Amino acid sequence: MNNGILLVPAKTQHLTGRDRRFQPAPAAIIPTPTPRRAFEVGRAAQCIVNRLVDAVTLDHEFLVQALRSTCAVDEFTNEIFKVYMAARESTNGISQYGPTALRAHVLRNDFMLHLGANKELAFQDAEIHNVEINTIAAGFATLSTRLVEAMRMLEAPEVASRIPENNALAGVVDGFKAALDAYVTAGRRRTSNPLAAVMMVQPGERNICDQRGLEVELRRRHGHRMARVTLEEAAQRFTYMADGTLLYTGVDGLQLEVGLVYYRSGYSPDDYPTPACWEARLNIETSAAVKVPNAAAHLVGTKKMQQVLAQPGILEKFLSAAEATTLAKTFTRFYSLDAADYATPAALEAVLEQEIYAHPDDWVLKPQREGGGNNYYGADAVQRLRAMSPEKRAGFILMARIHAPILQTSALAEQCGHDTFASVTEFGFYGVFVANGATELVNTQPGYLMRTKPASSLETGVAAGFGLIDVPLFV
């Protein structure tokens, strides 16, 4: 389980122990041609993205202004914002977001190749356009590393040399170790209990093998345990001390001091079925443990923030002119759907008439949700927009659709229906960032995830059942 490229089938995900089954994760069986130049542009931008996300989490006024309208109409975003505000106002003496705060981020910045609206660019000259910045639960570091390792071993040397190395698994785990070390250095260690990390997970997790890989690698490389807890289990497993110390008690009775909490859940309203789950999220947020992500970084990953950061002059608030220029080249076009961002409501209607109503296949309607399967396209997006109240529209953004090249992929994936099929690819670069106050301790781009989907599919999530893990072959 720890060394394979496996998923739990949906039909057995509710089972436990010996009744649970595993199957090969959907994966390509030959690498997919990828323009080296576009790949390198995305890779080079990642450390800038890491610094950008961290800087935005420290700007309280910017967060409030950017998300005010969204919080008014999107209940889930508002709940995360309430956690952020409550932790910011906590009186336990732990600085969560201020200039002396201890922070850590594990990000994945996802891109697609773009041939132009009229597909006028040659494949080797394809541009790279940003799809989203994942600030919470950026998965598949383990399985993507395993697949690249397997492909580089199986292919002939002249082919393997054109597959870029992928150190995502080791890089993410080393980031965890750096954050745990910073926890100690910052003077937050309070007990003699073993220092450990906790992964917040969903019940019946299908992608458990990817998660277990991080757990095993952290123990193997650095000697730290990583426990698994759901938000519903938090009340039984966690003890919150008055000084902010977070303690975990396992089923064996062993008590650990938690120096890091890593979220692989908490990004969907479904992860909070009871008020106790929201209470657990707040208690963790106000604790001394390093959160990956904290609530501020979670908010930076919203679709509304994606649209705001793409506005002219915004990147320059947080980055140097050169860094802002580099990053802006990877952005596509966005429109706010909040009437308050326009001179008059009629001005917003004019944008809709000119853009998505006239060219529905060139735009994507995106809500404030993660996990795949939430976006709307084409005529469906137009129909929904026309039916929405102005208030509800403010919870969405409009993003220019990326016109990716169609390739041929051979895969081991039952949902694709055929061994070889027409496909489009998406690749994301992992970013790891750790800082203590103004001191940047870690800022790395350790690896990548490449995913491929049938050209007829509108989503790419592997665990969600839309796509498969792939490997790039430089051309």
Binding residue positions for substrate:
211, 451
* CB neighbour burial string for 43-78, b if at least 16 within 10 angstroms, e if fewer: bebbbbbbbbbbebbbbeebbeebbebbbebbebbe
Cβ-in-10-Å burial (0-12, 13-18, 19+) of 343 comes to exposed
DSSP bridge pairs for 258:
196
DSSP letter for each residue of 240-306: E-TTS-EEEE-TT--EEEEEEEEESS-SSGGG--SHHHHHHHHHHHHSSSEEES-HHHHHHTSHHHH
Beta-strand relationship, 363-367 and 376-377: antiparallel
Residue 265 has a CB neighbour count (10 Å cut-off) of 20
Binding residue positions for ATP = 303, 366-375, 377, 399-402, 426, 453, 459
Residue keyed to tokens 């690249």: 148
Amino acid sitting at position 10 = A
Collapse the DSSP code of 266 into the 3-class scheme (helix H, G, I; strand E, B; otherwise coil) and give the result. Answer: coil
Cβ pair 284, 37 in contact under 8 A: no
Known binding-site positions:
211, 303, 366-375, 377, 399-402, 426, 451, 453, 459
Rg (CA), the chain: 22
Q: What is the C-alpha to C-alpha distance for residues 278 and 381, in angstroms, rounded to an integer?
A: 32
Cα distances from 344 to residues 72, 179, 265, 348, 350, in angstroms, run 19, 47, 39, 7, 10
Measure the CA–CA gap between 373 and 460, rounded to whole angstroms. Answer: 8
Does residue 293 have a cis bond before it (omega within 30 degrees)?
yes
Known binding-site residue numbers for Mg(2+)? 370
Cross-strand bridge partners of residue 104: 434
Tokens representing 372? 């795949």
Q: How far apart are CA 370 and CA 359, in angstroms?
A: 26
Strand 290-292 and strand 255-263: the pairing is: parallel
